[in-house]
Amino acid sequence: MSDDETMEIEEDEWTGLSIQQGAEVPVSERLAPYQTLNSTEGYVFKTDYETRLRRFLCIGTDGGTYYTGERDLTRENAGCIVRMINNGDGLKVVETIREFSVENKACKANPIMFALALSCRSNDPTTKEAGYKILSDVCRIPTHLFQFVKYCQEMNPYGKGWGRAHRKGVSTWYQNYNKKKEGILMLAHHVTKYKARFGFSHQDVFRLCHIKTTYDALGYLVSYICRGKAATENQWKMSWAMRDEGFEQSELKKVIDLLKVFEDAQKCTNEEQMKRMILEHHLAREHVPTGLLKSKEVWGALMRHMPMTAMIRNLGKMSSLGLLESDSFGEQITTEKLKNEQLLKAGRIHPFTLLVAIKAYSKGKGELGKLEWQVNRRVVDALQEAFYLSFKHVKPTGKRYLLAVDVSGSMNVPVMGTPIITARDAAAAMMMVTVRTEQNYDVVAFAGGLNSLTKLAISPQDNITAVLEKCSRLRFAATDCSAPIVDAIQNKKLYDVFVVYTDSETNYGSVHPSQALKNYRHISGVKDARLIVCGMASNGFTIADPEDPCMMDIVGFDSGAPGAIHQFVTGTI
Locate the domains of the chain by residue range: 49-263, 306-393, 396-569
Half-sphere exposure of 523 (CA within 13 A, CB side): 29
Q: Which of 228-232, 241-245, 395-399 bottoms out in mean pLDDT, i.e. has the lowest?
A: 241-245
Partner residues linked to 221 by β-bridges: none
DSSP state of 391: G
Instruction: Please say if the pLDDT value at position 346 is more than 80.
Output: yes
Please give the Cα distance from 207 to 182 (Å, whole number): 24
Instruction: Please say if the pLDDT value at position 3 is more than 50.
Output: no
pLDDT (average), residues 350-373:
87
- 455-482 pLDDT per residue, tens: 888 888 888 888 888 887 777 777 788 8
- 45-94 pLDDT per residue, tens: 445 788 888 888 888 887 777 777 777 777 777 888 888 998 899 999 99
In the prediction, which pLDDT does 14 show? 52
Contact of 453 with 483, CB cutoff 8 Å = yes
**Listing from the earlier edge strand, what are the strands of the sheet with 440-446?**
65-67, 551-555, 530-535, 497-502, 400-406, 440-446, 453-455
Q: Is the pTM of this model over 0.85?
A: no
Please give the Cα distance from 572 to 449 (Å, whole number): 38
Please give the Cα distance from 510 to 451 (Å, whole number): 10
Please give the Cα distance from 100 to 502 (Å, whole number): 29
Q: Could you give the 3-state DSSP secondary structure of residue 440?
A: strand
292 vs 447 pLDDT, higher one: 292
Over the chain, what is the mean pLDDT?
A: 83
Q: What band does 547 get if pLDDT is binned at 50, 70 and 90?
A: confident
CATH topology of domain 396-569: Rossmann fold (3.40.50)
In the prediction, which pLDDT does 12 show? 44
Q: What band does 39 get if pLDDT is binned at 50, 70 and 90?
A: very low
Q: What band does 95 get if pLDDT is binned at 50, 70 and 90?
A: very high
CA gyration radius, the chain: 27
Q: Which of 25-39, 243-257, 305-319, 435-449 bottoms out in mean pLDDT, i.e. has the lowest?
A: 25-39
pLDDT (average), residues 409-434:
86
Q: Which of 33-47, 438-452, 493-507 bottoms out in mean pLDDT, i.e. has the lowest?
A: 33-47
51 vs 224 pLDDT, higher one: 224
User: CB neighbours (10 Å) of residue 136?
Assistant: 18
Torsion angle (degrees, nearest 10) of CA 456, 462, 467, 470: -60
551 φ/ψ angles, rounded to the nearest 5 degrees: -130, 140
Instruction: Please say if the pLDDT value at position 11 is more than 50.
Output: no
474 vs 412 pLDDT, higher one: 412
